[in-house]
């Protein structure tokens, strides 16, 4: 019995020896630090240096993050005045700076849009109401343009000028983007007018004109005031097409160049409008209206009148007035409420009664 009790004692002794050895080693380290105060002070100094270095590094990181945030805010603000696509366009042509006088030529689709009857509408508003209305309207028109790969170049009063350059895409991509944006603008307008109706405001209407062609993209101004700009005959044509919308009773007017570039027959419904000479241009332009946003019944009616309108314009070009009027009257029988048909009949009577030169090409001056 006594032997069984004493057997655990060697294990207890081993544990006691280990504890005493650990205590002795700790005591030795303490005595060593007391006998070598210089080493202790040196270690303390090194620790303080490391702490200060870490603090300075953290401060530098904080300053860097602050400057980065500031640069990001400035860039975002800058992009509100100079579209990012302008800078990217110049970069694509080998320039990484936006210096004064920089110019490049490119082929793009140009879209103009404005509010019908805006002058009369604005006269009924206070300045604050007018700015609130315009900002609300532009906010809704911005998305259809951006979602279809375009960007707004300028706000001109109530008008919008947008460009479609489809980076890394073809000319067809650019033209299709612009057509899609125009149709989506009309859908966005329907939603906006529903909102205005719910708020007790009258609906508004817009006209859209689109052309495709070469433009010069560059920067103009002076040393202390610079702006980006797009100039050229193509810009003038797009602007003039938009102004024809109320005269021809169309929502979206496009040039034949745009339709050909887009190969539009595969995706879009459209109707021939007229052979016109726009202001500031000698050569006439064939113009068409896009129908995709209209109700199916309206599209069907306008397509029925299209062949007669085309024939009527061809007769007008040849100064065959009676034949032209006969075609337009047949179109009116198919759709008595068609504004375009009424326009052609009135125009044909007006041209017939006026003196036209022998070399007249049949184009209407609108």
Average pLDDT over residues 310-319: 94
Is 46 or 292 the better-scoring residue by pLDDT? 292
pLDDT at 105 (0 to 100): 85
Q: Which residues contact 215 (CB under 8 A, 6 or more apart)?
A: 105, 106, 107, 108, 110, 163, 230, 231, 232, 234, 235
In the numeric block, which tokens belong to residue 52?
A: 């200060």
Mean pLDDT over each residue of the chain, to the nearest integer:
82
57 confidence band (pLDDT: 50, 70, 90): low
- Poorest-pLDDT segment among 27-36, 120-129, 149-158, 184-193: 27-36
CA gap 211, 221 in Å, rounded: 27
pLDDT at 20 (0 to 100): 65
Tell me the residue length of the chain.
366
pTM to 2 decimal places: 0.76
- Poorest-pLDDT segment among 73-82, 91-100, 301-310, 352-361: 73-82
Average pLDDT over residues 300-316: 96
pLDDT at 316 (0 to 100): 93
Of the candidates 167, 165, 160, 191, which has an alpha carbon nearest to the alpha carbon of residue 178?
A: 165
- Poorest-pLDDT segment among 277-281, 321-325, 334-338: 277-281
CA gap 343, 356 in Å, rounded: 19
18 confidence band (pLDDT: 50, 70, 90): low
Q: How far is CA 243 from CA 209, 218, 275, in A?
A: 8, 25, 15
pLDDT at 99 (0 to 100): 65
- DSSP structure class, residue 157: T
Half-sphere exposure of 295 (CA within 13 A, CB side): 3
pLDDT at 168 (0 to 100): 84
CA gap 230, 212 in Å, rounded: 13
In the numeric block, which tokens belong to residue 286?
A: 């064939």
**83 φ/ψ angles, rounded to the nearest 5 degrees:** -55, 140
pLDDT at 29 (0 to 100): 64
Q: Across 4-13, 32-41, 86-95, 296-305, which has the greatest mean pLDDT?
A: 296-305
Q: Which residues contact 345 (CB under 8 A, 6 or more apart)?
A: 325, 328, 329, 332
Residue 132: is its pLDDT beyond 70? Answer: yes
The 10s digit of each residue's pLDDT in 236-293 is 999 999 999 999 999 999 999 999 999 998 899 999 999 999 888 889 999 999 999 9
Residue 74: is its pLDDT beyond 50? Answer: no
Is 45 or 225 the better-scoring residue by pLDDT? 225
Burial 187-216 (b: 16+ CB within 10 A, else e): ebbeebeeebeeeeeeebebbbbbbbbebe
For residues 132 and 221, the answer to whether their CB atoms sit within 8 Å is no
What's the Rg (C-alpha) of the chain?
38
Q: How far apart are the first and last CA of the chain?
A: 127
Is 41 or 327 the better-scoring residue by pLDDT? 327
Secondary structure (DSSP) of 5-36: HHTTHHHHHHHHHHHHHHHHHHHHHHHHHHH-
229 confidence band (pLDDT: 50, 70, 90): confident
**62 φ/ψ angles, rounded to the nearest 5 degrees:** -65, -40
Average pLDDT over residues 208-213: 97
63 confidence band (pLDDT: 50, 70, 90): low
Q: Which residues contact 335 (CB under 8 A, 6 or more apart)?
A: 301, 302, 304, 305, 341
- Poorest-pLDDT segment among 41-45, 157-161, 228-232, 272-276: 41-45
For residues 253 and 241, the answer to whether their CB atoms sit within 8 Å is yes
Q: At what angle do helices 171-198 and 127-147 cross, to 10 degrees?
A: 140
2 confidence band (pLDDT: 50, 70, 90): very low
Residue 303: is its pLDDT beyond 90? Answer: yes
Residue 159: is its pLDDT beyond 90? Answer: yes
Is 293 or 351 the better-scoring residue by pLDDT? 293
Angle formed at CA 36 by CA 32 and CA 41, multiple of 5 degrees: 120
Report the percentage of the chain scoring pLDDT > 70: 72
CA gap 316, 363 in Å, rounded: 9
Of the candidates 58, 39, 59, which has an alpha carbon nearest to the alpha carbon of residue 47?
A: 39
Residue 42: is its pLDDT beyond 50? Answer: yes
For residues 143 and 188, the answer to whether their CB atoms sit within 8 Å is yes
């Amino acid at each position: 019995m006594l032997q069984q009790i004493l057997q655990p004692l060697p294990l207890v002794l081993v544990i006691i020896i280990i504890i005493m050895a650990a205590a002795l080693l700790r005591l030795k380290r303490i005595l060593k630090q007391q006998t070598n105060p210089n080493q202790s002070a040196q270690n303390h100094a090194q620790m303080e240096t490391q702490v200060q270095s870490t603090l300075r590094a953290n401060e530098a990181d904080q300053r860097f993050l602050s400057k980065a945030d500031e640069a990001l805010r400035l860039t975002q603000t800058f992009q509100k005045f100079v579209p990012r696509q302008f800078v990217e366009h110049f970069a694509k042509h080998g320039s990484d700076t936006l210096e004064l006088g920089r110019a490049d030529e490119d082929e793009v689709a140009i879209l103009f849009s404005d509010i019908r009857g805006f002058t009369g509408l604005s006269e009924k508003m206070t300045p604050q109401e007018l700015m609130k209305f315009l900002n609300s309207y532009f906010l809704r028109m911005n998305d259809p343009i951006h979602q279809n790969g375009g960007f707004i170049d300028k706000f001109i009063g109530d008008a919008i000028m947008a460009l479609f350059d489809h980076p890394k895409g073809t000319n067809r991509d650019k033209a299709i983007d612009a057509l899609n944006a125009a149709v989506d603008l009309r859908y966005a307008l329907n939603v906006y007018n529903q909102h205005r109706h719910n708020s007790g405001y009258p609906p508004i209407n817009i006209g859209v004109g689109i052309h495709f062609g070469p433009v010069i993209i560059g920067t103009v101004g002076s040393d202390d005031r610079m702006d980006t700009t797009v100039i050229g005959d193509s810009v003038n044509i797009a602007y003039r097409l938009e102004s024809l919308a109320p005269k021809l009773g169309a929502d979206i007017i496009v040039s034949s160049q745009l339709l050909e570039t887009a190969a539009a027959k595969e995706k879009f419904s459209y109707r021939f409008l007229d052979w016109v000479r726009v202001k500031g241009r000698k050569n006439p332009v064939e113009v068409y209206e896009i129908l995709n946003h209209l109700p199916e019944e309206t599209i069907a009616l306008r397509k029925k009148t299209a062949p007669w309108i085309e024939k009527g314009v061809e007769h007008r070009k040849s100064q065959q007035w009676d034949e032209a009027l006969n075609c337009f009257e047949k179109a009116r029988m198919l759709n008595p409420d068609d504004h375009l048909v009424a326009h052609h009949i009135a125009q044909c009577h007006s041209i017939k009664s006026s003196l036209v030169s022998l070399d007249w090409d049949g184009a209407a001056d609108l």
